[in-house]
Structure 1
Amino acid sequence: MTDGDDVARRISAALAPHGLILRGGFDFNDSEFAPPGPSGLPAKSVVLVGNAGAGYWRHFQAWRESRPGDLENPLDTWCRVIIGTVAEKFGARAVSPSDKPYLPFQQWAMRAEGLKPSPLGILMHPEYGLWHAYRGALLFDAGIAIPAPDKQNHLCDACVGKPCMKACPVAAYSEAGFAYDDCLGHVRGENGAPCRDRGCLDRNACPYGTAYRYPAEIQAFHMAAFARVC
């Protein structure tokens, strides 16, 4: 087992030039499922990588300028390149949320950072609000003892009125869950321009983490991907 604080600092330093950040990590218990590490044996630990706010965007855009305009899944490709390079530097195996079979990134994230889902399903962060993401993870053959997160207050518990459940024109989010078809139809339809141009209205209605809110350009990029792929 290695010094988790030191490993975390060094990984953070390697990610920083790309606008990505370390999002916590943990050692797997002997009795739980762990995907293969770099050796092919079950990994002993995982470190999550992601972003908070728009810090990654200019780095991604600079990389994208030298790639074909029709490159499929460019953000996913960029993340794989960057996180894969960092993984190689630290002797880890890089994995992505889009890898199949899908890995339990949501559960890993809740465990690594002590977060809970918002009514929209996005994990609520006490500082970043809903404006963050997990872009990949590093799997290690050794335990690295990343310090456990402090107990976090779940902001949604104290939120009066739940504005994130009231802004969508087609009420895509409700206590019954996410009305996927209604959301997709609206985004693709003639009345969906506000969502296509500025992002999910429910997500933007959340009062937390507004300093990290993605600019309209980023939200439009993600919404275009949603409308095209789904």
Structure 2
Amino acid sequence: MPLSPAAEDFHLSVVGMLHENGGTLVLLGPDEPGFWPAFHNSNEARDGQPDPLDRWSKRAIRTLAQLWGGVPAFPSDGPPYPPFQAWARASGQAWDSPVGMLVHDTAGLWISYRGAIHIPALLDLPEAGQQPCLTCAAPCLTACPVSALGPSGYDVPACKSHLNGEDRADCMAQGCAVRRVCPISETYGRLPAQSAFHMKAFNPT
């Protein structure tokens, strides 16, 4: 079953696959750089209702699930919430980075999972990816201006304080400096407008 062409029709990318519960779990993320314009021009982005990106993702992924004869799952389903991070690690395409968050072999620290589809068949899995951090100088460890991300975890108060301070413009407009500086992230094609949207959702003040 050719999955990628159908996913790309919805501006989504297959960012991981694994065998799960007698079938195949397909993890879906943005297909960059076309993902953001597709969402931005959608009804969900323009109707003024809450959670537009989640609603757009659910509409697209539910349509794909029907096409593939599968069952969709979303990070917002719950509690209990689906174990997307565990699925990502099990896919062989994502790993824990030096700053704790997941890093993906093609999306870097920009990886995000819009949803997943469980297909009741054991499909062939892609070859495991190459863990990028093994040969990287780890600029992510020093990129945060307030050292909110590092091996010891995520200092949310420090991050929030910075995002509400005088020097917040760069992170708010371009996205998290740590995620941006990853060499894989730099080649991913994510548009700054998408990062600004997520930053505003995270820190709306």
TM-score range normalised by the length of the shorter chain: 0.7 to 0.9
Q: What is the aligned partner in structure 2 of residue 78 from structure 1?
A: 56
- Show structure 1 runs of 4+ deviating over 3 A: 64-67
- Mapped contact 1:93–1:139 kept (Cα < 8 A): yes
| Stretches of structure 1 lacking an aligned partner (at least 5 in a row) | 1-5, 31-43
Q: Give the TM-score normalised by the residue count of structure 1.
A: 0.79
Match of 1:154 among 131, 139, 144: 131
- Mapped contact 1:131–1:213 kept (Cα < 8 A): no
Q: What is the aligned partner in structure 2 of residue 203 from structure 1?
A: 179
- Superposition map of 1:50-89 within 5 A: 50-64=29-43, 67-69=46-48, 71-89=49-67
Q: What is the aligned partner in structure 2 of residue 180 from structure 1?
A: 156
| Stretches of structure 2 lacking an aligned partner (at least 5 in a row) | none
> How far 1:219 sits from its partner (Å)?
1.0
Match of 1:26 among 10, 18, 25: 18
When the two structures are aligned, how many residues end up with a matched partner?
204
Counterpart CA distance in 2 for 1:117 and 1:52 is 22
Q: Percent identity?
A: 36
Q: Which amino acid aligns with 1:129?
A: G
> How far 1:65 sits from its partner (Å)?
6.9
The structure, 1 or 2, with the larger RCO (C-alpha pairs under 8 Å, 6+ apart) is 1
Q: Which amino acid aligns with 1:50?
A: G
Counterpart CA distance in 2 for 1:13 and 1:68 is 29
For each residue in 1:127-166, what CA deviation from the matched residue of structure 2 results, as whole angstroms up to 9, or x when unmatched?
33223321101123x2x22323424332212222x21111
Counterpart CA distance in 2 for 1:63 and 1:90 is 23
Q: Which amino acid aligns with 1:63?
A: S
Q: Give the TM-score normalised by the residue count of structure 2.
A: 0.88
Task: Indicate whether 1:110 and 2:50 are aligned.
Answer: no
> How far 1:174 sits from its partner (Å)?
1.9
- Mapped contact 1:120–1:164 kept (Cα < 8 A): yes
**TM-aligned CA distance change 1:203 to 1:177, over 3 Å:** same
Q: Which amino acid aligns with 2:16?
A: G
Query: Which structure has the greater CA radius of gyration?
Result: 1
**TM-aligned CA distance change 1:134 to 1:27, over 3 Å:** same
Which moves more between the two structures, 146-155 or 191-200? 146-155
Question: SS in structure 1 opposite 2:203?
Answer: helix
Task: Indicate whether 1:145 and 2:137 are aligned.
Answer: no
> How far 1:85 sits from its partner (Å)?
1.2
- Mapped contact 1:120–1:203 kept (Cα < 8 A): no
Question: SS in structure 2 opposite 1:138?
Answer: strand
- Mapped contact 1:24–1:146 kept (Cα < 8 A): no
> How far 1:99 sits from its partner (Å)?
1.1
- Mapped contact 1:24–1:48 kept (Cα < 8 A): yes
